[in-house]
Amino acid sequence: MTLSVWRYAHLALAIISFLFLTMASITGVILAIDPVTEKTQPYKVDNFDAITLAQSLPELKKVYPELIELSVDHNQFVTLEGFDADGNDFKQFVNPTTGKAIGTPKEKSEFIQWITSLHRSLFLHETGRFIVGIVSFLLLLISVSGTILIIKRQQGIRHFFAKINKDFFAQYFHVVAGRILLIPILIISLTGTYLFLLRFNVIPNPEIKTVEITPKVDENAKQIDLKDFPIFKQTHLADVEKIEFPFADDPEEFYKIKLTDRELTVNQITGKVENETLYPKAKVLETLSLNLHTGRTNAVWAIILGIASLNILFFIYSGFVITFKRTRTKIGKNKFTADEAEIILLVGSENGSTLGFANKIQAQFLADGKKTFMAQMNQYQVYPNAKNIIIFTSTYGIGEAPTNAKNFENLVIKHPQTQNIKFSVVGFGSKAYKDFCGYAVKIDELLTAQKWATRLLDLKTVNDRSPEEFTNWVKEWSEINLIALSTAPALYSGKTPKLKALNLVSKNTISENDKTFTLHFQTKDKFKSGDLLAIYPANDHRERFYSIGKINNKLQLVVKLHEFGLGSQYLHQLKNDEIIKARIIKNSSFHFPKKAKKVIMIANGTGIAPFLGMIDENSKLIETHLYCGFRHQNETTKKYQEFANQQIEKQHLKHFQLAFSREENSNYVMDLVKKDADLITDFLQDNGVIMICGALAMQKDVEQVLEVICQEKLGKSFDYFKTKGQLLTDCY
């Protein structure tokens, strides 16, 4: 049977029974405490298991002239009923070896009686008992299906207790606790079911027939001492449930002794066993089931039962968390249809975390006006206008597909695309598993073999949902396609963002030919230059990102006003003292590298924003060079020049160079870089760090220049320095 059939069975059983199970578990926990508190009472004598009837009964007889009944309860407390020397009747706990009264038996408290009744029958008498019985049976089925699911998950019964990887807490807890508490929960459910079946006669429950014996009184028989009755010598009090005493002056009366597995009739003169009735197996099993189900005979077992009951509540909770996570694999409504979309995002996700990453990418595409369509891998079809297909998929089992990607391979073969499409696969998995991202590898190979498919990037993998590893893919994909995507890992960390209040303290005017303006916000939140500010201009969930510079403890944004730019228009119309709701996204991969000896900063346009803050904060006087490209020379660039001069004076900055592309002697920032080839190679060899912020196209051009410089001057690729972490970028 497939995994999902067992999974659905397990879930369906849990859903049907969870209300009753919750009630039974809560009451079960309380009822488990009861036997433990009972056992703390001092009515059990030492060495009880060794006491025989031959030792006990003669002593009791000495103390009490007339005994009626002795009973031993599941706590091994001995209750004696009879008449004392003054002829008064009594019922008390006694020490069975001395006859000393040690306490008075009490009824269970009303609360415990109430809880017991709720647990057993929901106050609904037989109907209630029937429902509770059925719930016991359902719990049995849940335990069995759960065991099968664990076996399947562990890939065989041999690995049942092998290490479990912590994918997320609820799932880890559900499986680990399930394994440990499997036995007690199976016992609770099995015994509960058995008692139910007995009670409703589904399993025959034979009556015990007490044999009435015709007395055979031997007038000449000699009275033997009780302590010498062979049956009394053999029988321990621990095996006794009840003894009815005969009237001493009526030789036709017998001792009637109920043991745990039989009843005996014993002659009071001779000590002979006149009759022995063995209980049927069903009765013995019933007592055993009751003892196991209630824990009444053993405090340790009662505690284990209590823990198991408590855990059923946690199972219900964690089970629903797991189910809820699975429902997160549903994809929301698409803005564009599969037919019109140019970028197709296909997601294979079992517990929704992979979909979380895909959603963040999709949101950025849409905010950027890109025609995007997202679907589960199982919904694969022909995409007549697609230029890019991106696959995000997790792996389950031994390199197998998550549930919503199971049909993907067949569908790819069945529906070849009609035009050439570039593809990129991102695998989400865990290195804790042998077959790391096994399914993504398979899909990457499958797509490579399709005629219509052109590989855009090598397969990228993400271990344990690492946002940092994911941004490696984001960076590469975004740079190749020149489509801006945020590379701040914090954006992909899966935590729901908390919005913070930011107070606008100043906004400067725009210069005429360069529609750039700066804003300064005050906030209680911590931030660093290079972090991102996400704003919500349409007051919905769509975000726009801006690079932050920290100047005089204020959060500074440099924004270019676009005619139809939702974000820039929104920021532009803000008034001083206005408060906006936004969130700060930590972007540690683009913070100023404090450990570097030297830093080169390259920016164009508003990309200068984080660098302004970093330079202002460069109190360690790390050698820093700033290269910037703008279209026009204007008020704004004059202000940058003034700022740079001040910083050079403070030794926060060593050198500042500007390039203007739309002025006389037009040049670009990469021309400045080209000109300083010697300085740059010295920097790179001296472990200096290059930071780039601005347009993706500029980044691409600058990287090309750096590649040429490295090849010509150093005889090696710029990639060598990149892999050593000497290039930090944040482009859009």
List residues binding ligand FMN (CB under 6 A): 153, 167, 349-354, 394-399, 402, 428-430, 433, 435-438, 465
Contact 45, 99 (CB under 8 A): no
Q: Which two tokens stand for residue 281?
A: 């197996």
Nearest residue to ligand FMN, scored by beta-carbon proximity = 429
Question: How are the residues of the chain apportioned to helix, strand and coil, as percentages rounded to the nearest 5?
Answer: 45, 20, 35
We find the least distance from the C-beta atom of residue 472 to ligand FMN, in angstroms, to be 16
Residue number with CB closer to ligand FMN (396 or 630): 396
The sheet that has 532-535: what strands, in order across it? 544-547, 532-535, 579-585, 500-507, 516-522, 554-560, 549-551
Residue number with CB closer to ligand FMN (402 or 549): 402
Contact 436, 423 (CB under 8 A): no
Residue number with CB closer to ligand FMN (396 or 627): 396
- Measured CA to CA, the distance from residue 25 to residue 10 in angstroms comes to 18
Contact 519, 574 (CB under 8 A): yes
We find the least distance from the C-beta atom of residue 442 to ligand FMN, in angstroms, to be 11
We find the least distance from the C-beta atom of residue 326 to ligand FMN, in angstroms, to be 9
We find the least distance from the C-beta atom of residue 156 to ligand FMN, in angstroms, to be 13
Contact 727, 721 (CB under 8 A): yes
- Measured CA to CA, the distance from residue 731 to residue 474 in angstroms comes to 11
We find the least distance from the C-beta atom of residue 2 to ligand FMN, in angstroms, to be 14
Residue number with CB closer to ligand FMN (48 or 436): 436
- Measured CA to CA, the distance from residue 286 to residue 100 in angstroms comes to 33
- Measured CA to CA, the distance from residue 529 to residue 385 in angstroms comes to 40
We find the least distance from the C-beta atom of residue 462 to ligand FMN, in angstroms, to be 7
We find the least distance from the C-beta atom of residue 320 to ligand FMN, in angstroms, to be 17
Residue number with CB closer to ligand FMN (437 or 673): 437
We find the least distance from the C-beta atom of residue 383 to ligand FMN, in angstroms, to be 22
> Which helix (H) or strand (E) segment is 92 a member of?
strand 89-94
We find the least distance from the C-beta atom of residue 303 to ligand FMN, in angstroms, to be 31
Residue number with CB closer to ligand FMN (80 or 347): 347
Residue number with CB closer to ligand FMN (354 or 518): 354
Residue number with CB closer to ligand FMN (354 or 478): 354
> What are the b/e assignments for 77-90, b being 16+ CB within 10 Å?
bbbbbbeeeeeeee
- Measured CA to CA, the distance from residue 375 to residue 331 in angstroms comes to 7
Residue number with CB closer to ligand FMN (306 or 467): 467
Query: How distant, in Å, are the alpha carbons of 155, 410, 438 from that of 3?
Result: 11, 20, 18
- What are residue 276's DSSP bridge partners? 264
Classify strands 460-463 and 500-507 as parallel, antiparallel or unpaired.
unpaired
We find the least distance from the C-beta atom of residue 328 to ligand FMN, in angstroms, to be 8
We find the least distance from the C-beta atom of residue 162 to ligand FMN, in angstroms, to be 12
Residue number with CB closer to ligand FMN (149 or 190): 149
Q: Which two tokens stand for residue 647?
A: 């910083």
Residue number with CB closer to ligand FMN (424 or 624): 424
Cα–chain center distance at 550:
37
For 377-529, list the strands marked E by DSSP.
388-394, 421-429, 453-455, 460-463, 500-507, 516-522
Contact 385, 428 (CB under 8 A): no
Residue number with CB closer to ligand FMN (291 or 466): 466
Contact 193, 141 (CB under 8 A): no
> 265: left (phi > 0), else alpha (psi -120 to 50), else beta?
beta
Residue number with CB closer to ligand FMN (133 or 352): 352
Cα–chain center distance at 53:
58
We find the least distance from the C-beta atom of residue 425 to ligand FMN, in angstroms, to be 13
- Measured CA to CA, the distance from residue 497 to residue 332 in angstroms comes to 19
We find the least distance from the C-beta atom of residue 381 to ligand FMN, in angstroms, to be 22
We find the least distance from the C-beta atom of residue 433 to ligand FMN, in angstroms, to be 3
Biggest distance spanned by C-alpha atoms of the chain? 142
Cα–chain center distance at 194:
35
We find the least distance from the C-beta atom of residue 449 to ligand FMN, in angstroms, to be 22
- Measured CA to CA, the distance from residue 437 to residue 666 in angstroms comes to 49
Residue number with CB closer to ligand FMN (117 or 430): 430
Contacts of 508 by beta carbon, 8 Å cutoff, 6+ apart: 517, 518
Residue number with CB closer to ligand FMN (191 or 394): 394
Query: How distant, in Å, are the alpha carbons of 255, 265, 340 from that of 231?
Result: 11, 11, 94
